[in-house]
Chains A and B, each alone.
Chain A
């Protein structure tokens, strides 16, 4: 089985935010929810870089470690998903996540949140694949259709890569060797405990 990962090649990202928009559109996420975002580091300075970031689908996901109701699970593809029916909106996962992935649709009294929402790697949730209820709760399930996440698929500079970790690491490694530089596989150390060595 493939171990799915994201890799954002910051030397290619042009901060167009198309991945963010594509994600919002594909899954029809509500206002205020950003499953993916683009952060620009050293903005306006020489050597600035932009990184598109969403849930990294960590190995030994910290969100799953702190969830009081154990609503997280990892699929055979290494994708970290959660069950919104079980989620109590406590917010612990958002404090455990190194990438700011968990999102909440509303804040009510005493910091109460709605059911957590995050990137599903375009692979839905525990409901039956491609069902209406799955779409309503988690968005599209492109993996079930044999497609990769839309954010990476439509990235105009092919900065954002999605797919089997070994394959996208090879692609990135080849790029770094060819062009002679690379600012790193952002988030990989934190999410997977390894990185792409060139």
Chain B
């Protein structure tokens, strides 16, 4: 009995005495412990190293999401630069175009006769879309390039206030924009179906580059059709991604939200550039063009030069209407 106890003491004493040496030889209690490096290496794109968290917020269980930095670099770098290039580049192109081509005049001169081009509903839809778009574009651009362009001019405090109002405007004006987008689509889709004469227009550069060139066009020429479809498709993309950004919980994951944000910013940059061109040609760029959306009535010579086939259609239908009303009035005589 005693010798067994003695042996146990001795056996126990041996490792106790050689503690410093034996520590390495012992089974490492943490050999199976999770390693940060291994977890990071195993991550799929957009995934987070995560676990369990005791606070009632599932999102807090993501410990490290390295790919968030990729989105940050995209938003803070690439998209920021692209937005500036799109807007400044387009403005530069327009200035260049103006210097080379000047204002496109009505070559035959104003006739003084007016034709109704856009009725009240069409103009209402256009301006609702236009006003909401301009505010959305300016406030949206402010979010991405305002800190480079406006912040140095007005200071941090004023810029913060301006941006806070801008954010509210952006959130709320998105809805009239979407309504107007649907309205514009319904009103004009019938006139914007591509046809063979559009080729001719494109081949002649729309007559934009040279004087005296006036390719035939119906209510909308190929360039306008291009703007129409870019606005409809771009606007739809903006609306869908915008709704996802407005309701972050609906965007499923943070990675989805980031994806929607990138699409939103890219399409926005493209549309801003496009609409700058549209605004130019509808105002200073072309004599008589603004009337179409201003009073709704255009000069007949302007219409003949830019929408020859449409003028014929209008004249025929007025003639027919006159004939019909004339026929009706005959029996009364």
At the interface with chain B, which of A92-100, A136-144, A149-157, A163-171? A92-100
For the complex formed, measure the closest distance between the CB of A181 and the CB atoms of chain B, giving whole angstroms: 5
B64 touches A187 (CB 8 A): yes
Instruction: Identify which of residues 33-58 in chain A touch chain B, using a CB-to-CB cut-off of 8 Å.
Output: 34, 37-43, 46-51, 53
A39–B48 alpha-carbon span in the complex (Å): 12
Instruction: Identify which of residues 49-94 in chain B touch chain A, using a CB-to-CB cut-off of 8 Å.
Output: 49-55, 57, 59-69, 71-73, 75-77
Q: Range of interface residues on chain B?
A: 35 or more
Could you say which of A37, A41, A65, A110 contacts B72, with CB atoms under 8 Å apart?
A: A65
A69 touches B61 (CB 8 A): no
B45 within 8 A of A: no
A185 within 8 A of B: yes
At the interface with chain B, which of A80-88, A117-125, A127-135? A80-88
A71–B40 alpha-carbon span in the complex (Å): 30
Instruction: Identify which of residues 146-200 in chain B touch chain A, using a CB-to-CB cut-off of 8 Å.
Output: 146-147, 151, 156-157, 159-160, 163-164, 167-168, 171-172
A113: nearest residue on chain B (CB-CB)? B248
B164: nearest residue on chain A (CB-CB)? A88
A94: nearest residue on chain B (CB-CB)? B254
A69 touches B60 (CB 8 A): no
Could you say which of B30, B172, B247 contacts A111, with CB atoms under 8 Å apart?
A: B247
A147 within 8 A of B: no
A180 touches B52 (CB 8 A): no
B66 touches A190 (CB 8 A): yes
B111 within 8 A of A: no
A75 within 8 A of B: no
A100 touches B59 (CB 8 A): yes
B-side residues, CB < 8 A to A, are 23-24, 28, 30-37, 39-40, 49-55, 57, 59-69, 71-73, 75-77, 142-144, 146-147, 151, 156-157, 159-160, 163-164, 167-168, 171-172, 245-249, 254, 257-258, 261
Between-chain CB contacts (< 8 Å), 14 pairs: A39-B61, A47-B33, A68-B146, A88-B160, A95-B72, A95-B261, A96-B76, A98-B69, A99-B63, A112-B167, A184-B37, A187-B64, A189-B66, A195-B37
Q: Which 9 pairs of residues, A with B, have the shortest CB-CB distance?
A: A65-B76, A62-B72, A184-B36, A86-B160, A96-B72, A47-B32, A41-B51, A47-B33, A43-B52
